[in-house]
């Protein structure tokens, strides 16, 4: 089962290393891990995507909560939430193919962030499925480089998942 874990951590040096080390040392495979600052400079939010059954997820959450730098963990797979990802994709184009690529960018509501004679750099954000669909639609064109941010997520509705912070 795909699990999305939101973790509030202290914004201190080494916190990413501690969390990553804990997961690696126990043999848990991480599909995605993102981390960024929050509105409070004392804390950062990590979003980790793990494919694991309920027993393994319970162990992961227990192990994470033991880390001193981890303030709170929330498994968003159990609640309504929104997930997004960002991708930057460089596509090779010729005079004849540029229009087709630009049409796909428009259909998927992306934007062109850099143009050169032989390539377009495209920014696209949305669900994992949307990004996957865009990359699949680009298959007829040469993808020169693709970089994905990994999943970020937040609970839906009027919630403050920092209640205990």
Q: pLDDT tens across 8-40, in order? A: 999 999 999 989 988 888 888 899 999 999 999
pLDDT at position 159: 62
pLDDT above 90 covers what percent of the chain?
74
pTM of structure: 0.81
Superfamily for 82-152? ACT-like. Chain A, domain 2 (3.30.70.1150)
pLDDT tens per residue across span 77-134:
888 999 999 999 999 999 889 999 999 999 999 999 999 999 999 999 999 999 999 9
Contact (CB, 8 A) for 93 and 141: yes
CATH of 2-79, one of 3.30.70.260, 3.20.19.10, 3.40.1160.10, 3.90.580.10: 3.30.70.260
Dist CA 83 CA 91 (whole Å): 25
**Strand stretches in 18-80, DSSP E:** 30-37, 43-51, 70-75
- The segment(s) of the chain belonging to CATH 3.30.70.260 are 2-79
Range 114-118 contact pairs with CB under 8 angstroms and sequence separation of 24 or more: 118/92, 118/93, 118/94
- The segment(s) of the chain belonging to CATH 3.30.70.1150 are 82-152
Dist CA 34 CA 75 (whole Å): 15
Range 53-59 contact pairs with CB under 8 angstroms and sequence separation of 24 or more: 53/1, 54/1, 56/28, 57/1, 57/3, 59/26
């Amino acid at each position: 089962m795909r699990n999305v874990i939101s973790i509030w951590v202290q914004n201190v040096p080494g916190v990413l290393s501690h969390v990553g080390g804990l997961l690696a040392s126990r043999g848990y495979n991480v599909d995605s891990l993102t981390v960024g600052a929050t509105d409070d400079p004392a804390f950062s939010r990590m979003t980790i995507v793990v494919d694991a059954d309920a027993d393994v997820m319970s162990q992961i959450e227990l192990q994470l909560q033991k880390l001193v730098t981890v303030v709170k963990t929330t498994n968003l797979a159990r609640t309504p939430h929104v997930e997004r990802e960002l991708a930057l994709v460089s596509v090779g184009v010729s005079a004849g193919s540029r229009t087709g690529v630009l049409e796909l960018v428009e259909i998927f509501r992306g934007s062109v962030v850099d143009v050169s004679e032989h390539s377009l750099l495209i920014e696209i954000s949305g669900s994992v499925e949307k990004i996957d669909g865009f990359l699949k639609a680009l298959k007829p064109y040469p993808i020169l480089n693709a970089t994905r941010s990994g999943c970020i997520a937040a609970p839906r509705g009027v919630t403050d998942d920092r209640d205990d912070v």
